[in-house]
Amino acid sequence: MSVLEIARAVRAPRTAATAAGEVVLPLDTILQRDCIGAMRELPAASIDMIFADPPYNLQLGGDLNRPDGSHVDAVTDAWDKFDSLDAYDRFTRAWLAEAKRILKPNGTIWVIGSYHNIFKVGAAIQDLGYWILNDIIWRKANPMPNFKGTRFTNAHETLIWASMGEKARYTFNYRSMKTLNDELQMRSDWEFPICGGAERLKKDGHKVHPTQKPEALLYRILLACTKPGDVVLDPFFGTGTTGAVARRLGRRWIGIERESPYVAAAKERIAAALPLDESALTTMQSPKAAPRVAFGTIVETGMLVPGAVLMDAKRKYRVTVRADGSLLSDCGQVGSIHKLGASLQNAPACNGWTFWHYEAEGALKPIDALRQTYLLATQP
Amino acid sequence: MSVLEIARAVRAPRTAATAAGEVVLPLDTILQRDCIGAMRELPAASIDMIFADPPYNLQLGGDLNRPDGSHVDAVTDAWDKFDSLDAYDRFTRAWLAEAKRILKPNGTIWVIGSYHNIFKVGAAIQDLGYWILNDIIWRKANPMPNFKGTRFTNAHETLIWASMGEKARYTFNYRSMKTLNDELQMRSDWEFPICGGAERLKKDGHKVHPTQKPEALLYRILLACTKPGDVVLDPFFGTGTTGAVARRLGRRWIGIERESPYVAAAKERIAAALPLDESALTTMQSPKAAPRVAFGTIVETGMLVPGAVLMDAKRKYRVTVRADGSLLSDCGQVGSIHKLGASLQNAPACNGWTFWHYEAEGALKPIDALRQTYLLATQP
DNA sequence: CTGCGCACTGAATCAACAA
DNA sequence: TTTGTTGATTCAGTGCGCA
CATH label of the domain that carries residue A214: 3.40.50.150
The Cα–Cα gap between B37 and B54 comes to 15
B183 inside domain? yes
* Residue A313 contacts B, CB cutoff 8 Å: no
B264, containing H or E segment: helix B260-272
Nucleotides of strand C within 7 Å of the protein's CB atoms: 8-17
Say whether the CB atom of B301 is under 7 angstroms from strand D. Answer: no
The Cα–Cα gap between B233 and B213 comes to 16
Parts of chain A with a pLDDT under 50: 1-21
Q: Which of B69, B121, B186 sits opposite A152 (nearest CB)?
A: B186
Q: Which of A118, A146, A172 sits opposite B185 (nearest CB)?
A: A146
Contact yes or no for B185 and A145 at CB 8 A: yes
CA–C1' B201–C1 (A): 30
Q: What is the pLDDT of residues B86-134, one digit of tens each?
A: 999 999 999 999 999 999 999 999 999 999 999 999 999 999 999 999 9
Per-residue confidence (pLDDT) for residue B272, from 0 to 100: 93
A39 inside domain? yes
Q: How far is CA B317 from the centre of its chain?
A: 33
* Residue A127 contacts B, CB cutoff 8 Å: yes
Between residue 180 and residue 199 of chain B, the positions with Cβ below 7 Å from nucleic chain D are: 193, 196-198
**Does residue B203 sit in the same domain as residue B349?**
no
* Residue B85 contacts A, CB cutoff 8 Å: yes
**Does residue B105 sit in the same domain as residue B149?**
yes
Per-residue confidence (pLDDT) for residue B168, from 0 to 100: 98
Mutation choice for A interface testing from B71, B84, B115 by most A CBs within 10 A: B115
Q: Which of A285, A303, A320 is the last residue of a domain?
A: A285
CA–C1' A182–D5 (A): 34
Question: Residue with CA nearest C14 C1'?
Answer: B148
Contact yes or no for A134 and B151 at CB 8 A: yes
Give the highest mean pLDDT range of A307-316, B125-134, B179-188, B321-330.
Answer: B125-134
* Residue B174 contacts A, CB cutoff 8 Å: yes
- pLDDT > 90? residue B338: no
**A121 → chain B, closest CA residue:** B119
A67 inside domain? no
Q: How far is CA A142 from the centre of its chain?
A: 25
Q: Which of B123, B149, B154 sits opposite A188 (nearest CB)?
A: B154
Contacts with B129 from chain A: Cβ below 8 Å: none
A297 inside domain? yes
B304 inside domain? yes
DSSP string, B141-210: SSPPP-TTS-S-B--EEEEEEEESSTT------HHHHHHHTTTS--BSEEEEPPS-GGGS-EETTEESST
* Closest nucleotide to the alpha carbon of A134, via C1': C13
Q: A52: closest CA among A238, A273, A268?
A: A238
Per-residue confidence (pLDDT) for residue A279, from 0 to 100: 65
Domain enclosing residue B366, as ranges: 290-377
Q: Indicate the residue type of A203.
A: K
Per-residue confidence (pLDDT) for residue B144, from 0 to 100: 98
Contacts with B122 from chain A: Cβ below 8 Å: 115, 118-120, 122-123
Per-residue confidence (pLDDT) for residue B61, from 0 to 100: 87
DSSP letter at A287 equals: G
In the predicted model, what is the mean pLDDT of chain B?
87
How much is the pTM? 0.85
> Could you give the 3-state DSSP secondary structure of residue B106?
strand
Q: Sign of torsion, CA B23 B27 B32 B34?
A: positive
**Does residue A218 sit in the same domain as residue A203?**
yes
- A296 Ramachandran zone, left/alpha/beta (phi>0; psi -120 to 50): alpha
Task: Tell me how long chain A is.
Answer: 380
Mutation choice for A interface testing from B114, B187, B190 by most A CBs within 10 A: B187
* Residue A122 contacts B, CB cutoff 8 Å: yes
Per-residue confidence (pLDDT) for residue B13, from 0 to 100: 39
Per-residue pLDDT band for B40 (boundaries 50, 70, 90) equals very high
Contacts with A341 from chain B: Cβ below 8 Å: none
**Does residue B310 sit in the same domain as residue B342?**
yes
Contacts with A127 from chain B: Cβ below 8 Å: 85
Question: Higher pLDDT residue, A371 or B286?
Answer: A371
**Does residue B263 sit in the same domain as residue B298?**
no
Q: Sign of torsion, CA A191 A197 A199 A204?
A: positive
Contact yes or no for A154 and B188 at CB 8 A: yes
B129 inside domain? yes
Q: Which of A227, A250, A285 is the last residue of a domain?
A: A285
B19 inside domain? no
Per-residue confidence (pLDDT) for residue A300, from 0 to 100: 92
Per-residue confidence (pLDDT) for residue A60, from 0 to 100: 66
Per-residue confidence (pLDDT) for residue B311, from 0 to 100: 95
**Does residue A270 sit in the same domain as residue A370?**
no
- pLDDT > 50? residue B17: no
Q: Which of A152, A160, A172 sits opposite B151 (nearest CB)?
A: A172
Contact yes or no for B151 and A133 at CB 8 A: yes
CB pairs under 8 A between A and B: 138
Q: Indicate the residue type of A172.
A: F
B319, containing H or E segment: strand B318-321
Q: What is the pLDDT of residues B191-244, one digit of tens each?
A: 999 999 999 999 999 999 999 999 999 999 999 999 999 999 999 999 999 999
Instruction: State the nearest Cα–Cα gap between B45 and chain A, in angstroms.
Output: 23
**Does residue A172 sit in the same domain as residue A265?**
yes
**Does residue B326 sit in the same domain as residue B224?**
no
Q: How many C-beta atoms lie closer than 10 Å to residue B269's C-beta?
A: 19
**Does residue A200 sit in the same domain as residue A334?**
no
CA–C1' A291–C18 (A): 15
Say whether the CB atom of A185 is under 7 angstroms from strand D. Answer: yes
Q: Which of A268, A285, A302 is the last residue of a domain?
A: A285
**Does residue B223 sit in the same domain as residue B307?**
no
Q: Indicate the residue type of B212.
A: Q
Question: Higher pLDDT residue, A91 or B301?
Answer: A91
Instruction: State the nearest Cα–Cα gap between B127 and chain A, in angstroms.
Output: 8
Domains identified in chain B, total number:
2
DSSP letter at A187 equals: B
Contact yes or no for B189 and A151 at CB 8 A: no
B323 inside domain? yes
**Does residue A294 sit in the same domain as residue A275?**
no
* CB of B353 closer than 8 Å to CB of B366: yes
**Does residue B275 sit in the same domain as residue B335?**
no
Per-residue confidence (pLDDT) for residue A347, from 0 to 100: 85
